[in-house]
């Protein structure tokens, strides 16, 4: 008697098993294709050949390279950057460090890192007592919504950091070509 019921069961299982997988696969391929077309502006390849993104592993490596094995503490540094950005091509940011900037106690350098651009480094500033006030402003690119990290090295070789998560509506990748 069991074989009377089994065929529909098997067919149903097969459909259930294959169909969602099938749609998911096509949707993924379609989306990748659209992304590829947008990124490469209608050029033939359907798959995006993106440069290696700065994964959290590479940002960690970049920070290690700048800091070494020294501990990095939170505080003294303030990163001012809008939390919601419309255009990732120009994001203005200001870094300020709480420091008297004297010969004995000053900021040696400020390092800015990002998580998801193709490269983890953004900029390194070398300061000294002649700078007078440890505050730097600039404009950066952000390829995606991500965390921006700032690390300051003080004259006593202590490291301090601040980080902000930035949401980007239009990524720097989609910039129009002139």
Partner 1 sequence: MARALINVPRKAQRGDVIEIKTLLSHPMETGYRRDNVGNPIPRDIISRFVCVYNGTEVFQADLFPAVAANPFLSFFTVATESGTLEFRWTDDHGNTQTASASIEVE
Nearer to partner 1, 54 or 162 (CB): 54
- Residue 120's contacts (CB-CB under 8 Å, 6 or more residues apart) are 54, 58, 59, 61, 62, 63, 113, 114
d(CA 158, CA 95): 17
d(CA 80, CA 148): 10
Kindly identify the residues of this chain, within the stretch 157-176, that bind partner 1 according to CB under 8 A: 175
Nearer to partner 1, 91 or 151 (CB): 91
Nearest one of 157, 152, 161 to 73, comparing CA atoms: 161
d(CA 123, CA 109): 10
- Give the tokens for residue 58: 């590479």
Regarding 108 and contact with partner 1 (CB under 8 A), the answer is no
Q: Site for partner 1 (CB under 8 A): which residue of 133, 165, 169, 170?
A: 133
Relative to beta strand 91-97, strand 135-140 is: antiparallel
Q: Site for partner 1 (CB under 8 A): which residue of 85, 136, 166, 168?
A: 136
d(CA 91, CA 85): 7
CB 29, min distance to partner 1, A? 21
Nearer to partner 1, 119 or 155 (CB): 119
Nearer to partner 1, 8 or 51 (CB): 51
Q: With CB under 8 A as the rule, give the number of residues binding partner 1.
A: 35
Estimate the share of the chain in helix, then strand, then coil, as percent rounded to the nearest 5. 30, 35, 35
Nearer to partner 1, 68 or 71 (CB): 68
Kindly identify the residues of this chain, within the stretch 84-103, that bind partner 1 according to CB under 8 A: 89-92
Regarding 104 and contact with partner 1 (CB under 8 A), the answer is no
CB 152, min distance to partner 1, A? 14
Which spans of this chain sit near partner 1 (rule: CB under 8 A)? 40-41, 43-44, 51, 89-92, 114, 117-119, 121-128, 130-133, 135-142, 175, 177
């Amino acid at each position: 008697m069991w074989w009377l019921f089994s065929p529909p069961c098997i067919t149903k299982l097969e459909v259930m098993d294959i169909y969602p997988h099938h749609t998911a696969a096509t949707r993924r391929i379609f989306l990748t294709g659209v992304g590829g077309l947008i990124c490469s502006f209608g050029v033939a390849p359907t798959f995006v050949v993106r440069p290696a993104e700065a994964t959290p592993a590479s940002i960690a490596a970049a920070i290690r390279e700048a800091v070494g094995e020294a501990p990095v503490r939170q505080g003294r540094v303030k990163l001012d950057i809008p939390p919601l950005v419309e255009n990732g091509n120009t994001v203005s940011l200001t870094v300020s460090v709480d420091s008297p900037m004297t010969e004995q106690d000053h900021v040696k350098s400020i390092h800015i890192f990002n998580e998801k651009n193709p490269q983890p480094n953004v900029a390194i500033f070398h300061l000294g007592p002649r700078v007078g006030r440890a505050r730097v402003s600039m404009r950066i690119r952000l390829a995606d919504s991500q965390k921006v990290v700032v690390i300051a090295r003080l004259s006593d070789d202590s490291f301090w950091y601040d980080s902000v998560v930035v949401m980007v509506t239009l990524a720097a990748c989609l910039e129009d070509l002139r």
